[in-house]
């Protein structure tokens, strides 16, 4: 990692690749990591350090990713327009001889305006595959924001020009905060040009990212027409509607421009203009999902570059000098797996979370009515 | 319901069809219904009454089931043979304008012998589709056993001869207990003929079902060859291996024989002989899944009868006098939805469960790092 202001890495023994079944809890209890545990975890570790740990955890997972040893199911779920527009999806993954991790994620775009709730609310859970016991259940709302930032940081570190960068951000909701934070951990940020169709949301960005210590220039949303020519790194994190994209204009991009296309992952939703994608190296997080929901919907399969984890194997050959690059980030279950394992290990280390006997494990395995173990 | 010894129904106001978001807990807390809560719930209500409530809940759900208003995803999951043979699956369902309910279920057949754990361990969770908030998470291990019994009771009540019955049970593990219990709620049981390939398991059945007050005749497992000719109702709940079935012989069945084929749901696993299925009215719980995993694997699609919920619409036309009937029970997500709603409503009524702020709902929905609500 080449970010500024970074403190030394917190060492977490045995985290990578291990099946985290240890800790102080009983082998049949479930550790619940709730909102207060997550907040305390970030407070103890420090916000910057927590982001760094997430970047390291994802980078480690990507580097050792072996498609023959990991099963990932396509994200699937229920989409509905009653009582309001929304979806609830599941993102399951299983590492051979390791745990099963499933993130359940809801996306309800009217939440912030109508209910003062985040649009994304999520939980993740991890099962021991020896017995089928639920080991951990945790909030994944904060984790999803942080891991989405961390994935952009990894792509940016690999693909953007080195040295200080001008950062553009289009769409200034919750994701913008963790995108900017994550980028700041891998590149010094000279300045930020930020815009949103909602002026009230735009007006609060500076305060929300005050802890990062970079000045934000909030510009009129019309500036989206030319922003590709003004910045070195660009994050799009909008919730643009089906058929309403792209959110950017077709101004000639700056050489070396790197774009993290984060928002609006849904069939028919796109953020980037086709002209940009046509000349760019397009790196999906996971090809199949990006073709269904991401920017890769717009281009033929043969124009799609390597997945991010593949690119990490051969970073030198990443792209021709000055070529525009796009990270098509739709969110990968393997990232959520890594994020939950990090949270589980930190919870164990700092004694956070509540251990409960959740499952009715009857004392006589042949009698469901016999008293449960733990009572 | 026509069972003997049954007490009057406990009334649960507003249960059927309602979205149970009420109760004493905060609108953003998650109610966790753990093992001790489930045990206490059954203790308060009474074991028989709890089974009756489950039968009523499923019957009500089946009666008002409308495929146009309920989305059910095919059961999917990860199957593995390392570290040991097992699977973890998800069973999602969504009622239009109602909640999303997902059961996560593990099946690890070596659990009882090697770990003194039940082979099936499960949890169920329910999401509010207005915001995506996780409303309830509960043990579904006990619920799965009880709802599987309840489904057999409904099929038996609809299809078996009326009056006292002789009950056969093949496979005497955990499922046998709730199968026998459930059947006893809809038919007086004259006697039970029971067998298992494992004599040690068979030897404990009488004690495990002592609360039902019916004598068990445990017979040699060879008796499976002729048991269809000896009983009026038969429950098969084995974990027979792939390719090792059927577990029954081809003796001519008694007229009106009704079979609940409950166990061994997996591609290649079958419990019943084809000769029995060929002459029987075969009623699947859910056709598509039964064709993949149930007894319906053995017969052409046009030989499969109505699904159980369909049959309930026209019980008079159920079957010709004396014809053998088979309920092919593979386990339906809609049953698990009904079971969790019942548990949620009882937990609310009796103030059981633990309310936790699980999800990090930040006070500012545009800032994931702002303090979570509830802290």
pLDDT tens across A160-187, in order?
A: 999 999 999 999 999 999 999 999 999 9
Which chain A positions have a beta carbon within 8 Å of B208's beta carbon? Answer: 364, 366-367, 369-370
The residue of chain A nearest to residue B146, with distances taken between CA atoms, is A368
Residues found in chain B: 375
The residue of B37, B42, B51, B78 whose CB has the most chain A CBs within 10 angstroms, and thus the best one to mutate to test that interface, is B78
pLDDT at B102: 98
CB–CB contact B361 A121 (8 Å): yes
pLDDT at A1: 37
Cα B104 from Cα B121, distance rounded (Å):
9
CA distances (Å), B330 to each of A116, A192, A349, B149, in order?
42, 57, 42, 12
Residue B373, pLDDT > 90, answer: no
Q: Which ipTM value was assigned to this complex?
A: 0.90
CB–CB contact A369 B211 (8 Å): yes
pLDDT at B318: 60
Q: Give me chain B's average pLDDT, please.
A: 90
* Per-residue buried b or exposed e for A175-184, using 16+ beta carbons within 10 Å of the residue's own CB: bbbbbbbbbb
Indicate the SS3 state at residue B327: strand
The residue of chain B nearest to residue A78, with distances taken between CA atoms, is B94
pLDDT at A268: 83
CA distances (Å), B165 to each of B162, B194, B234, B277, B357, in order?
8, 14, 10, 21, 50
pLDDT at A315: 67
The residue of chain B nearest to residue A375, with distances taken between CA atoms, is B36
Closest to A152 (Cα-Cα) out of A184, A120, A189, A197? A184
* Per-residue buried b or exposed e for B251-264, using 16+ beta carbons within 10 Å of the residue's own CB: bebbebbbbbbbbb
The mean per-residue pLDDT over the stretch B20-41 comes to 79
CB A248 within 8 A of CB A221: no
CB pairs under 8 A between A and B: 273
Cα A107 from Cα A41, distance rounded (Å):
25
CB B191 within 8 A of CB B263: no
CB B226 within 8 A of CB B170: no
CB–CB contact A88 B132 (8 Å): yes
* Per-residue buried b or exposed e for A262-280, using 16+ beta carbons within 10 Å of the residue's own CB: bbbbbeebbbbbebbbeeb
Closest to B202 (Cα-Cα) out of B190, B216, B191? B216
Q: Which among B139, B204, B370 has CB closest to A359? A: B139
Which chain A positions have a beta carbon within 8 Å of B366's beta carbon? Answer: 112, 172-174, 176-177, 201, 204, 208
CB A245 within 8 A of CB A269: yes
- Residue A234, min C-alpha distance to chain B (Å): 19
Cα atoms in the 13 Å half-sphere on the side-chain side of A112: 19
Question: Other CB atoms closer than 10 Å to residue A84's CB: what's the count?
Answer: 16
pLDDT at A168: 98
Which chain B positions have a beta carbon within 8 Å of A82's beta carbon? Answer: 96-97
CA distances (Å), B3 to each of A211, B184, B260, B276, in order?
67, 6, 17, 27
CB–CB contact A133 B106 (8 Å): yes
pLDDT at A163: 96
Spacing of C-alpha A93 from chain mean position: 15
CB–CB contact A78 B96 (8 Å): no
pLDDT at A45: 98
Tokens of A19: 């099946």
Residue B238, pLDDT > 60, answer: yes
The residue of chain A nearest to residue B141, with distances taken between CA atoms, is A360
Residue B168 pLDDT class (50, 70, 90 cuts): very high
Provide the H-helix boundaries in chain A. 35-45, 47-63, 141-159, 174-184, 199-203, 205-208, 274-279, 287-293, 308-311, 333-349
CB–CB contact A142 B364 (8 Å): no
CA distances (Å), A40 to each of B35, B217, B362, in order?
28, 59, 14
Low-confidence residues of chain A, pLDDT below 50?
1-25
Question: Other CB atoms closer than 10 Å to residue A8's CB: what's the count?
Answer: 7
pLDDT at A245: 83
- The contacts of residue B18 (CB under 8 Å, 6+ apart) are none
pLDDT at B244: 84
pLDDT at A337: 98
Spacing of C-alpha B4 from chain mean position: 22
Q: What are phi and psi of B257, to 5 degrees?
A: -50, 130
- Residue A264, min C-alpha distance to chain B (Å): 16
pLDDT at A294: 94
Cα B308 from Cα B289, distance rounded (Å):
13
Tokens of A323: 């070529």
The residue of chain A nearest to residue B109, with distances taken between CA atoms, is A131
Q: What are phi and psi of B127, to 5 degrees?
A: -110, 140
CB–CB contact A366 B131 (8 Å): no
Which chain A positions have a beta carbon within 8 Å of B263's beta carbon? Answer: none
CB–CB contact B366 A141 (8 Å): no
Lowest mean pLDDT among A185-194, A220-229, B12-21, B360-369: B12-21
pLDDT at B322: 86
The residue of chain A nearest to residue B96, with distances taken between CA atoms, is A82
CB–CB contact B141 A366 (8 Å): no
pLDDT at A373: 83
Closest to A21 (Cα-Cα) out of A363, A369, A371, A344? A344
- Residue A132, min C-alpha distance to chain B (Å): 5
* Per-residue buried b or exposed e for B189-217, using 16+ beta carbons within 10 Å of the residue's own CB: beebbbbbeeeebbeebeebbeebebebe
Q: What are phi and psi of A355, to 5 degrees?
A: -95, 125
CA distances (Å), A259 to each of A47, A85, A276, in order?
24, 28, 10
Which chain A positions have a beta carbon within 8 Å of B146's beta carbon? Answer: 368
CB–CB contact A131 B125 (8 Å): no
pLDDT at A321: 78
Cα B155 from Cα B303, distance rounded (Å):
18
CB–CB contact A82 B71 (8 Å): no
Cα B196 from Cα B222, distance rounded (Å):
9
CA distances (Å), B261 to each of B118, B152, B254, B264, in order?
20, 9, 17, 9
Closest to B270 (Cα-Cα) out of B250, B243, B292? B243
Q: Which among B71, B108, B360 has CB closest to A139? A: B360
pTM of the predicted model as reported, rounded to 2 decimal places:
0.91
CB B65 within 8 A of CB B309: yes
Regarding beta strands A281-284 and A258-261, do their DSSP bridges make them parallel or antiparallel, or are they unpaired?
unpaired
pLDDT at A121: 96
Best-predicted range by mean pLDDT (A23-27, B9-13, B109-113, B188-192)? B188-192
pLDDT at A375: 65
CB–CB contact A358 B35 (8 Å): yes
pLDDT at B71: 94
pLDDT at B264: 75
Determine which helix (DSSP H) or strand (DSSP E) holds B55, and give its type and residue range: helix B47-63
CB–CB contact B129 A83 (8 Å): yes
> Could you read off the pLDDT of A127-136 as tens digits, one per residue?
999 999 999 9
The mean per-residue pLDDT over the stretch B170-194 comes to 97
CB–CB contact B108 A131 (8 Å): yes
- Residue B188, min C-alpha distance to chain A (Å): 21
Q: In this predicted model, which residue has the larger pLDDT, B267 or B61?
A: B61
CB–CB contact B90 A102 (8 Å): yes
Q: Using CA of residue B144, residue B150, residue B153, residue B158, what is the dihedral sign?
A: negative
pLDDT at A334: 97
pLDDT at B26: 67
Determine which helix (DSSP H) or strand (DSSP E) holds B142, and give its type and residue range: helix B141-159
């Amino acid at each position: 990692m080449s970010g500024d202001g970074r403190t030394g890495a917190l060492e977490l023994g045995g985290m990578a690749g291990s099946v985290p079944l240890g800790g102080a809890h009983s082998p049949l209890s479930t550790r619940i990591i709730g909102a207060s545990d997550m907040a305390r975890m970030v407070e103890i570790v420090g916000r910057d350090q927590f982001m760094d740990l997430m970047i390291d955890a994802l980078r480690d997972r990507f580097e050792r990713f072996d498609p023959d040893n990991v099963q990932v199911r396509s994200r699937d779920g229920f989409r509905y327009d009653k009582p309001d527009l929304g979806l609830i999806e599941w993102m399951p993954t299983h590492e051979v001889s390791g745990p099963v991790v499933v993130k359940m994620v809801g996306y309800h775009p009217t939440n912030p305006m109508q209910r003062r709730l985040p649009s994304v609310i999520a939980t993740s859970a991890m099962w021991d595959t020896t017995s089928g016991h639920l080991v951990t259940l945790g909030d994944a709302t904060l984790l999803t924001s942080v891991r989405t930032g961390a994935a952009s940081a990894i792509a940016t570190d690999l693909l953007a020009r080195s040295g200080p960068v001008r950062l553009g951000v289009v769409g200034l909701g919750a994701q913008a905060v963790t995108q900017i934070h994550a980028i700041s951990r891998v590149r010094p940020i000279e300045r930020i040009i930020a815009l949103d169709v909602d002026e009230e949301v735009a007006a609060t960005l500076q305060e929300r990212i005050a802890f990062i210590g970079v000045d934000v220039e909030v510009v009129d949303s019309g500036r989206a027409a030319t922003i590709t020519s003004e910045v070195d790194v660009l994050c799009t994190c909008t919730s643009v509607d089906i058929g309403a994209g792209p959110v950017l204009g077709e101004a000639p991009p700056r050489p070396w421009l790197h774009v993290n296309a984060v928002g609006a992952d849904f069939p028919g939703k796109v953020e980037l203009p086709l002209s940009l994608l046509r000349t760019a190296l397009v790196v999906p997080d996971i090809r199949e999902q990006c073709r269904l929901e991401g920017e890769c919907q717009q281009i033929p399969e043969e124009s799609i570059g390597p997945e991010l984890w593949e690119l990490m194997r051969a970073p030198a050959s990443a792209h021709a000098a000055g070529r525009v690059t796009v990270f098509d980030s739709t969110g990968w279950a393997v990232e959520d797996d890594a994020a939950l394992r990090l949270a589980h290990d930190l919870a164990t280390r700092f004694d956070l979370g509540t251990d409960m006997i959740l499952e009715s494990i009857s004392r006589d395995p042949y009698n469901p009515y016999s008293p449960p173990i733990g009572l």
